[in-house]
Amino acid sequence: EEKIDKMAIKNNFELSDYGEIKYCVELKIDGLKVILNYKEGRLAQGATRGDGEIGEDVTSNIKTIKSIPLELPEKIDLIAVGEIWLGKNELEKINKERESQGEAKFANTRNAAAGSIRQLDSAVVAKRKLDSFIYDIEKMEIPNTQYPIPNEIQNSKLKNNSVSSLRGTPKQSSTLDDSKMFEITGSPRKFRVQNLLAKTKDASLPKSQIDELELLKNLGFKVNPYYRKCKSIEEIEEFYQEWVNKKDKENYELDGIVIKVNAKKIQDALGYTGKSPRWGVAYKFPAQRVTTVIEDIFVQVGRTGALTPVAHLRPVRVAGSVVSRATLHNEDEINRLDARIGDTVVIQKAGDVIPEVVSVVKNLRTGKEKKFKMPDVCPICGSIVKRENISISSSPLTACRPSFSGGARGGQAGVGNSERNPLCLTTSPPLSTPVRKVSDGASKRERNIKQSAAHYCINPNCFAVEMQKIIHFVSRKGFDIEGLGEKIVEQLIQEGVIENFADIFEITKGDLKPLERFAEKSADNLVRAISEKKKISLEKFIFALGIRHVGEETAFLIVGAIRKEFPISNFQFPKGGINSLRDIIIYFPKIKVEEWMNIKGIGEKSAQSLVNWFGDEKNINILTKMQALGVEIFLDNFESENNAMKNKTFVLTGALSGFTREEIKDIIRKEGGKISSSVSSKTDFLLAGESVGSKYEKAQKMGVKIISEEEFKKMI
């Protein structure tokens, strides 16, 4: 029986001063967050969450969802927050249709919902029958002219028709599904408004979380019906256990519960810390584990040339979708697991997203299993493969998103399986992820592989490598060009339309229309999307280049040095910093290895890669062409006054509930701190979530300060 951490809830809420507390417990829907903006009762805009700050405008597609009202019964200004989801039965229908048309199937309902809501054709969205649950009011405003002012307000300090006192103050993203709450300023809940809440029991503004959900229902929104008022932690635990057992019976995917203090006045008193409220916490359900068989092991090639072994599995349903493959990371991980073709293995989805092989059930071996050997030549271009030591961390493994795979016979340039692995969509799970002992004899993962080895294709012009570089360049963490996915990139390369990054910015409608599935409108949309993404921050630009050993953290360190006009040995960045592509073209090739290493946190491998990349005339020519085509960079100007994180090194471990890992990293960097992938003598803090691994044990042994999410919030 799964249990929740009662003490963690008590510590999270800090409720000792508030007497008997009641909670509103809701189901955590595994979908896509949406923000709905109503002006005078009419839907004016619908947007996705985006990267936490910038969302995508998907208004036309939102309007096709029948459960989202286009007009409210009252002419109020309202910002509501909720989740867009797709039913399991609808996913099956969509995937059957996609399979019949030769398209890749969606991995799960969340990906299908996200892909659908970003469709360029609203008619396609309407056919997919998306649904919604709205759970939050971010802001509510009642126009001055609509309702009379009660005497109790007219006689108070709020004169001159100051109905603006009812305007909600937007909060930053919260712990719970990044939801935002409003607070009523001035004279909060004494203000009664005619008609607005006539359908509620006492026609007053919401005094509780449950009242707010009732208000949303009365305004015409669809609200998940399974929320519950709980009087104790024990009742919350009963609710949690109940849904652990029956979560798979609903037509929508669930990944946990959300616990909120019910009373609004206590919510207001507890307040927020950074992006998270002190009055709420989310608890995820345990990861589902199943057994299946490794039917084969193939090799894929990533943008750095890394060869990644991928287990092709006997299809099995786990955590809401059918899994047929899982990354095995590298040769050393295969040896650690002792995984063989034909083995029965235990798999799970890390974070309910990324399929991973947890262990091998060795007592089911028949003797017919075959050991796997990494190829000596690239399966795509046939070039020699070399083995090189690497550090394994919890950062994204670039080989998780390759497009090409080859078996033992290898392959020709441009020939292979071009279908994107729909199961490798985000970061790979850290190898420190703990694994509980299970009854089938699966072993416990006890350590993190600090040093491992990857095999690399030495051909810099390998088709798969070039393609993955471009896919990385246009990805969300890079230029974020919507609509330019792997299949389109592949077609553009094969048709000779693009050869490098710069070519992307001179794509025309004429280039696109001959390609498969490109009509006039879709070609227009992609050309416009490319044009709109010609301006990018310097750190994203450096990351987008895909320089080996230069990830987000290194890019951020470089920008930090530039922002401070940091002198690195004999080289000094120009006065005023790097403000254009021309500056990069002029100055970056002049910087030597030892000078790059003078930037704290940049090691020899990263420095050498930077020198090699900017010393390559071919790359400089690409940058020069990008400049000529109007690509611009800008330098973010922010300087934190917070000394709690300044110059401190953080390591993350375990599952975080209040923030995404990207949000945590962004906060630490902007506060002047640094992220590291492994615990060392230089580590100042280990931020530990749930289900911690070997990093936690190592931090304890080394005396590194270990902090919880709550302690981290207090540092912000």
Say which range, 49-63, 356-370, 520-534, has the weakest mean pLDDT: 49-63
pLDDT of residue 495: 84
- 310 versus 269: the higher-pLDDT residue is 310
What's the residue count for the chain? 716
pLDDT digits (tens, 9 = 90+) for 91-146: 989 988 888 877 778 878 888 898 888 887 888 889 999 999 999 998 888 765 44
Instruction: Copy the structure tokens of residue 556.
Output: 């951020």
Q: Cα(300)–Cα(402) distance, rounded to whole angstroms?
A: 6
pLDDT of residue 557: 87
Instruction: Copy the structure tokens of residue 228.
Output: 């519950």
pLDDT of residue 550: 93
Q: What is the pTM of this model?
A: 0.49
Query: Closest by alpha carbon to 625, among 503, 525, 486, 509?
Result: 503
Query: In the predicted model, what is the mean pLDDT of residues 515-520?
Result: 78
Query: Closest by alpha carbon to 542, among 485, 464, 473, 615?
Result: 473
pLDDT digits (tens, 9 = 90+) for 17-35: 566 789 999 999 999 999 9
State the pairing for strand pair 685-688/705-707.
parallel
pLDDT of residue 67: 96
**Within 10 A of 117 (CB to CB), how many other CB atoms are there?**
23
The answer to whether 716 touches 671, Cβ cutoff 8 Å, is yes
Confidence of residue 694 (pLDDT cuts 50, 70, 90): confident
Say which range, 151-155, 294-298, 671-675, has the weakest mean pLDDT: 151-155
Q: Cα(598)–Cα(607) distance, rounded to whole angstroms?
A: 10
Query: What does the mean pLDDT of the chain come to?
Result: 76
Q: Cα(201)–Cα(57) distance, rounded to whole angstroms?
A: 36
- 2 versus 448: the higher-pLDDT residue is 2
pLDDT digits (tens, 9 = 90+) for 36-80: 999 999 999 999 865 444 467 899 999 999 999 999 998 899 999
- 340 versus 192: the higher-pLDDT residue is 340
Query: In the predicted model, what is the mean pLDDT of residues 561-584?
Result: 68
State the pairing for strand pair 77-85/32-39.
antiparallel
In DSSP terms, which residues pair with 705 in a beta bridge? Answer: 685
Query: In the predicted model, what is the mean pLDDT of residues 280-305?
Result: 88
Query: In the predicted model, what is the mean pLDDT of residues 558-584?
Result: 70
pLDDT of residue 167: 31
| Percent of the chain topping pLDDT 90 | 37
* Active-site residue list: 28
Which residue is associated with the tokens 């992938």? 677
Confidence of residue 390 (pLDDT cuts 50, 70, 90): low
State the pairing for strand pair 632-634/535-537.
parallel
In DSSP terms, which residues pair with 42 in a beta bridge? Answer: 39, 71
Instruction: Copy the structure tokens of residue 501.
Output: 């990054």
H or E element at residue 131: strand 131-141
Q: Cα(9)–Cα(66) distance, rounded to whole angstroms?
A: 37
Domains observed in the chain: 6-284 (3.30.470.30), 289-465 (2.40.50.140), 535-634 (1.10.150.20), 649-715 (3.40.50.10190)
In DSSP terms, which residues pair with 318 in a beta bridge? Answer: 321
Q: Cα(330)–Cα(332) distance, rounded to whole angstroms?
A: 6
pLDDT digits (tens, 9 = 90+) for 465-492: 888 999 999 998 899 998 888 889 988 9
